[in-house]
Amino acid sequence: MKKIFTLGVTLTMLVLTQTTTLKAQSDEVIIKETIMTMFNGMRKGDSTMVRSAFADKAILQTINKDRTGKAVVLDAGLKGFLNAVGTPHDQVWDEKIEFGNILIDGDLASVWTPYEFYLGDNFSHCGVNSFQLFKGENGWKIIYLVDTRRKDNCK
């Protein structure tokens, strides 16, 4: 009887571990899809597509240098970003990213994505995006995005 109980507990733990692992893997896939929706919308100049990746009160910021070379945090604003994406422009905005760490705890995810940004075929700048996402009624949505921007020390 003790062997049957031990086997039952072991099987239950195995099933729970596998279920948790599969859930985390499927969340990672959906998180990546959410982020790629934003970048694909940028490439297409489709602000509606970009908007669909964000939560209603998302915060966007960038870390850059001011004229004196001092590091500053600038508020970008979702509305301004969406207006810029949706305004017709001659060149495709192509941000090429690599997915770094994806950390998930319940309904919060943190994602690190080094990138290179191109205007059409011309390199513009590089840096890193740091995304915070929330899983709510509408699935995974970006709630916070901050990036760095530089023209040197890129790949």
In this structure, are residues 143 and 59 in contact, taking their beta carbons and an 8 Å threshold?
yes
Q: How confident is the model at residue 16 (pLDDT cuts 50, 70, 90)?
A: very low
Q: Which amino acid is at 145?
A: L
Residue ranges of domains in the chain: 2-148
Q: Are strands 139-148 and 54-65 parallel, antiparallel or unpaired?
A: parallel
Q: What does pTM read for this prediction? A: 0.82
pLDDT band at residue 6, thresholds of 50, 70 and 90? low
CATH number, domain 2-148, options 3.40.190.10, 3.30.360.10, 3.10.450.50, 3.40.50.10320 = 3.10.450.50
Q: What angle do CA 66, 72, 77 make, to 5 degrees?
A: 105
Higher pLDDT, 14 or 82: 82
